[in-house]
Amino acid sequence: MIKVGIIGATGYAGAELVRLLLGHKEAEIVWYGSRSYVDQSYASIYQNMFQLVDATCMDDNMEELAAKADVIFTATPQGLCASFINERILSSTKVIDLSADFRLKDVAVYEEWYKIKHQAPQYLEEAVYGLCEINREKIKTARLIANPGCYPTCSILSIYPLAKEGLIDLSTVIIDAKSGTSGAGRGAKTDNLYCEVNENIKAYGVAGHRHTPEIEEQLGYASGEHVTLNFTPHLVPMNRGILVTAYASLKKNVTYEEVKAVYDKYYEKERFVRVLPENVCPQTRWVEGSNYVDVNFKIDPRTNRIIMMGAMDNLVKGAAGQAVQNMNLLFGLDEAEGLYQAPIFP
């Protein structure tokens, strides 16, 4: 059995990790880390785990945990994993970080967008960006994996085939994205109160959301060119889900069949990316609770633009599910182990 430790087990992403790993045939959770709830029963924090998890929360001593676990998930705020990580830890265990600490290769870009000093820039080059569909082979041999952000995962997977094949003008990309409130975490914030969110939709982080450089960097790797784009997220009154609608100008006239062939080239054999039939738009309800990403596109010949769409669960493929997928690759397991759940409906 793979011995798993979770630091940040009482946040939404951490709790989703617990839920998924309880159904994993090859994994055993040995450490439920939570700075806020040390010595408190895990099931008293998440009552859905009553009689399923008989464990108390421990602290965030990553060095002690490294001696007990084969892999550590850090579902923590930005800056925490980087402040803990060192060579002793990485020599003893694998680390899958769900924060943004190791997603960006340029420390100056990280510090500019996240407004904190990076505590471990020496590991930025080594860290592997854990988008399994793109970096599968690199992930298999990594010590440190940077689990992608939720918005970037959906945005990149929706756009990637066309960026890789050079079919779109990347200087024209506009991404309109919407997310459920769980994406903001479990912390008490006025903007996330029921009365603030219910019956409302709003844009936030306009022209400055910190997931922007992550999307630009990865699409830049795909296309081989520098990418600058507009990314605007919105908060919608639902618990889970992300919907991305992205727009770009086409470099040449293409047919539906030609574009579909491009998506199939990259995703036909992918377990968790589903390219939908023609004229079927992705919806969050059809991926909720699962590790699936539904993608599709629509060509607009009137404007010579293409609309690229994607939907996924921000807590599963956007966080915990992708982290488990990365763990499976690290340990040579079936990539879908622990992730067989069909989307839930209603």
Radius of gyration of the CA atoms of the chain, in A = 20
| Separation between Cα atoms, residue 148 and residue 29, nearest integer Å | 22
Task: Describe the crossing of helices 107-114 and 212-223 by its angle, rounded to 10 degrees.
Answer: 150
Say which of 57, 81, 132, 150 is annotated catalytic. Answer: 150
Tokens standing for 95?
A: 């680390």
AA identity, residue 335:
E
Q: Do residues 315 and 339 lie in contact, with contact meaning Cβ atoms separated by under 8 Å?
A: no
Using CB atoms within 10 Å of the CB of residue 324, give its burial: 0 to 12 exposed, 13 to 18 middle, 19+ buried. Answer: buried
Question: Can you tell me the distance from the alpha carbon of 101 to that of 111, in angstroms, rounded to the nearest whole number?
Answer: 10
Separation between Cα atoms, residue 183 and residue 266, nearest integer Å: 28
- Residue 218 CA to residue 173 CA, distance in Å, equals 14
Alpha-carbon distance of 9 to 17, in angstroms, equals 8
| Residue 229: both structure tokens together | 């784009």
Q: Can you spell out the DSSP letters for 292-313?
A: -EEEEEEEETTTTEEEEEEEE-
Q: Which residue has the tokens 């399923």?
A: 52
Q: Do the beta carbons of residue 142 and residue 330 sit within 8 Å? A: yes
Instruction: Classify 198 as helix, strand or coil.
Output: coil
The CA dihedral of 308, 314, 317, 322, to the nearest 10 degrees, is 130
Instruction: Decide if 132 is catalytic.
Output: no
Residue with tokens 């700075």: 35
Query: What 3-state class would DSSP assign to 140?
Result: helix
- Do 328 and 309 contact (CB within 8 A), yes or no? no
Residue with structure tokens 């086409």?
A: 250
Could you list the active site residues? 150
